[in-house]
Structure 1
Amino acid sequence: MHPAVQSAIRSLVSEGKTPTVATVKSKLTAPVPMPVLIAALSAYKNNPEAIESIESSEESVEVNKQTQLDRIEAKLDKLLALLEERA
C-alpha cells in the first residue's frame, strides 16, 4: 500500500471518519495515481486491520535498518582502529 494513502486512511480513521476516495484524496500529502488510491482503499475496506499490520511491519523494518546501521558503524570503528595502529 502506498505510504501516503496509508497515512491518509490512518488519519481519517483516527478522526472517526469513514475513508472514501474523496476523503482520502483530500488528505494526501503527495500525488498518487487514482488506480493506486482505489486499490488501497479497496484493500482497507476488505481488511481494516491491514493498516495496523502494515504499520507494525514498517516498525520492524525500521528496527532492522537501525540494527544494520549499528553493525556497519562497529565495523567502521574496527577499521579505523586498525588504520590508526598502522600509522
Structure 2
Amino acid sequence: MLTQDITKELEAVMEQLQQQGKEPTVALVKARMKTPVPMPALIATIKSWKNANGVPKIEVALQTPKEDDRITVLENTVAKLLDRIERLEAQMSEKTS
C-alpha cells in the first residue's frame, strides 16, 4: 500500500491554530486539513503537540480515485477516440473518392 507523509501539513495547521490563539482540537485540525486523516492519528498528533510541542511523523494511505470517477474518465476518453476515428475515416474516404 502506498502512503503519503502529511507531517508538514499537520505542523502547518497546528502552528496556524497556535498563532490564532486557538487550542488544537480534533474538529479544528480535521476541518483545516486538505488530506483526510484517521481520528487515531489526529488524536496522537494533538497529544504530541501539547506534550512536546511537536508533530510525530504521520503517514496515511494514498487516496485512489473513486471507481465512478475512473469510469467517467474512461468513458470521456472513449468518446473522444471514437470522434477522432470517425473524422479520420471521413478524411480517408474523401481522399479515395
| TM-score (norm: length of structure 2) | 0.45
| TM-score (norm: length of structure 1) | 0.50
In terms of fraction of residues, the more strand-rich structure is 2
Greater relative contact order, per chain length (Cα 8 Å cut-off, separation 6+): 2
Higher gyration radius (CA): 2
In terms of fraction of residues, the more helix-rich structure is 1
